[in-house]
Structure 1
Amino acid sequence: MALPKAMRLKGHRTFDYIHKNSEKYYGKLMTFKIARSNPKILISHKNFNSLNNFKIAIAISKKVSKKAVVRNKIRRLLQDYFLKNFRKDKNHKPYWLLVNLKSSDSCNYESKLLQEFQHLIFKSGLLND
């Protein structure tokens, strides 16, 4: 299942903002960059309903796999895990999350990838009860 449009990050200004103003969490296979939302950046995208909601983007480099099919499979796997564990009442948190996969052989270890994703989500405090 794909992320709902209201939860997607888009635009180069958004990613520049996250890279400059984020708190970073590192793992062996991926990094998390979390920044407070800045709705002024998203006004140009004409999505006024969910400017201050929680948003996420998952970026997977070609260094992880040259095949787009493999990268998309990993992206869908992480998105599905996130959506299954994300509660609607947490959507009011004004944070933007960027997940970057590091270049490694992570595409062969789905269970390790999900374990680290879960660990970093809880370490960052996004899905705490």
Structure 2
Amino acid sequence: MAIPKDMRLKGHRTFNYIHKNSMTYHGKLMTFKVARSNPEILLTHKLTNTSNNFRVAIAISKKVSKKAVERNKLRRILQEWLLTNIQKINNHKPYWLLVNLKFGDFRNDKSKLLEEFQNLMFKSRLIK
């Protein structure tokens, strides 16, 4: 199941803001970029009522896998974990999260991927 629309990041200005104003947390398989939300950027998308909520984007490069099917499968795994554990996340915190997967052979090892995702969520203090 996909992330709800009110939790998605979109627009090039949003990603430029995250790249410039974020704290970066590195892991072996992925990096997190966490930035405070900036609702003025999302005004052009007419998302005023939920613009200060927690929002997420998951980016998977073609370097991870050339096949879109495999990249989408990895994205769905991370989104599923996020949706099942969303109650633990302080949803009132106005943070934007960008997840970038690094090159690595973890396509067959779902547990390593989820373990590192959870560790980086704790490290970035998005989950207590």
TM-score by length of 2: 0.96
Contact between 1:64 and 1:106, CA under 8 Å: does it hold in 2? no
Which residue pairs with 1:33 in the alignment? Answer: 33
* Residues 33-72 of structure 1: pairs in structure 2 closer than 5 A: 33-72=33-72
Which residue pairs with 2:18 in the alignment? Answer: 18
Q: Structure 1: which 4+ aligned runs deviate by more than 4 Å?
A: none
Query: 5+ unaligned residues in a row in structure 2: which ranges?
Result: none
Deviates more, 1:26-35 or 1:46-55: 46-55
Closer, same or farther in 2 for the Cα pair 1:54/1:69, shift >3 Å?
A: same
2:120 is aligned with 1:120? yes
Contact between 1:121 and 1:127, CA under 8 Å: does it hold in 2? yes
1:124 corresponds to which letter in structure 2? S
Deviation at 1:89, TM superposition (A): 7.2
| 1: CA distance, partners of 2:121 / 2:63 | 23
- The C-alpha deviation readout for 1:12-42, integer Å capped at 9, x for no partner, is 0000100110001000000000000000100
Number of paired residues?
Answer: 128
Structure with more of its chain in helix, by fraction: 1
Which residue pairs with 1:75 in the alignment? Answer: 75
1:29 corresponds to which letter in structure 2? L
Deviation at 1:106, TM superposition (A): 2.1
Closer, same or farther in 2 for the Cα pair 1:88/1:42, shift >3 Å?
A: farther
Give secondary structure in 1 for the equivalent of 2:91: helix
| 2: CA distance, partners of 1:13 / 1:121 | 24
| 2: CA distance, partners of 1:22 / 1:89 | 19
Deviation at 1:8, TM superposition (A): 0.2
| 1: CA distance, partners of 2:66 / 2:35 | 29
| 2: CA distance, partners of 1:37 / 1:89 | 16
| 2: CA distance, partners of 1:111 / 1:23 | 26
| 1: CA distance, partners of 2:31 / 2:105 | 15
- The C-alpha deviation readout for 1:26-59, integer Å capped at 9, x for no partner, is 0000000000000010000011111100000000
Percent of aligned positions that are identical: 70
TM-score by length of 1: 0.96
